[in-house]
Amino acid sequence: MRCATLCGMPGPRRAARTPEVDSAVRQSLSVAVATGLYGLSFGALSVVAGLSVPQTMALSLLMFSGGSQFAFIGVVGAGGAAGAAVATAALLGARNALYGPQVAPLLAARGPRRVLAAQLTIDESTAVATAQRDPAAARAGFWWTGVGVFVLWNAFTLVGALLGDAAGDPRRYGLDAAAAAAFLALVWPRLSGPGAGAARLVAGAAVVVALATTPVLPAGVPVLLAAVVAVVVGLVAPLLPAPAPDADRAAAPLACPAPATEPEVAP
Amino acid sequence: MSDAALWVAVIGAGLACLAIKLVGHLVPEHALAKPRVARVAALVTVALLAALVAVQAATSNGHVVADARLLGLAAAVVALLARAPFVVVVIVAALVTALLRLAGLP
């Protein structure tokens, strides 16, 4: 718990052991285990896409955002240019900027702790923190989820990368289809529920645009072009409701933040 | 991509994603809390993920192709409809695709 002490994380010794805090910590640990486990698939798919084990670990440590990491290796694996891979990862990470204003007031972190809080600001930590009613429980939820996911995500990334490295031809094990399924599981919760009409429309258009332009554009560009569709729909169709996150976070933790206090800000 | 170029992309993309998170902690809340900004960001996420599904499942070396991956993806849909956890969805898709290839499908 050295880091916890250094960072002022409200661990067992700092936070008052209220039932609310205990409940937030339990929630954090279950989210951390579920999310960490699927670091296995990221690690394996990353080496299959052509990254080395150190490069795979650098992504999990530095980028630390599941959707962006899967997108990065997706573009690299398809033979895309470095610029397209960076742009796709950054665009998918843009939603993390929307979480900062939700969690920063709860944490009141300054200096290096603020940088640490920013790095740990992901779908899961935001979802657990904003789901708590009690401020102390929200802080505990953020730090326990953030640190827990970070540790387990990186540990399982390493295991997955070493396994993927040993596996040989990825197609033999259907790992190319596994990558597609991973993206589908990430987007799935955003396509169901009330108000997901615009999201389904955009998803359908994105598929058409990506497939139609694949034969004529360099790898990686069709995916970026699909994002343009979303910007256009988002700007010209202000009357369509924004996609609402599904209530069940267990299916795909990274894809499914539920900022309960802020219904206007969809993830 | 060469190994050096890949390293540059890994570090660059990692720093970009960290910078994006920091922006959220440093800018005043009202600048990012506009419903329209949130809507566009949410839809961009959906579009990128949907496009990545399509490219990953139905293209190969710049061509649109239909092979065992599509049936693996269909199996993933069934798993998602059954509310299976993320890891199970991924494993089901891999397993179905691998078995179909074992049976001779491209």
- pTM of the shown model: 0.76
Q: Where residue A241 falls among pLDDT bands split at 50, 70, 90? A: low
Residue of B43, B92, B97 lying closest to A230 (CB–CB):
B43
Q: How far is A90 from chain B (nearest CA, A)?
A: 6
* pLDDT value at residue A130: 86
Query: Could you report the per-residue pLDDT of A209-221, keeping only the tens digit for each?
Result: 999 999 999 888 8
| pLDDT score of A102 | 84
pLDDT tier at A22, thresholds 50, 70, 90: very high
- What residues of A are in contact with residue B37 (Cβ under 8 Å)? 98
Q: What is the pLDDT of residue A234?
A: 86
Identity of residue A181 = A
Crossing angle between the packed helical segments A39-48 and A175-187, to the nearest 10 degrees: 130
Q: Which of B21, B37, B44 is nearest residue A100 as measured by Cβ atoms?
A: B21
User: CB–CB of A82 and B12 under 8 A?
Assistant: yes
The residues spanned by each domain of chain A are: 19-176
Q: What is the mean pLDDT of residues A204-208?
A: 96
Question: For every residue of A69-126, which 3-state class applies, written as one string?
Answer: HHHHHHHHHCCCCHHHHHHHHHHHHHHHHHHHHHHHHHHCCCCHHHHHHHHCCCHHHH
| Chain A: residue whose CA lies nearest to B5 | A82
What integer is the mean pLDDT of A191-199? 85
How confident is the prediction for chain A on average, in pLDDT?
82
Taking chain B (106 residues) in runs of 10, the rounded mean pLDDT of each run is 94 97 86 78 88 93 93 97 88 94 92
Reading the block at residue B46, the tokens are 């959906």
Inter-residue contact A157 to A223 (CB < 8 Å): no
Tell if the CB–CB gap between A96 and B8 is shorter than 8 Å: no
Whether the predicted pLDDT of A267 surpasses 50 = no
Tell me, what's the ipTM?
Answer: 0.89
Q: In angstroms, rounded to a whole number, what is the distance separating the alpha carbons of residues A64 and A80?
A: 21
Closest C-alpha among A61, A91, A75, A211 to residue B1 = A75
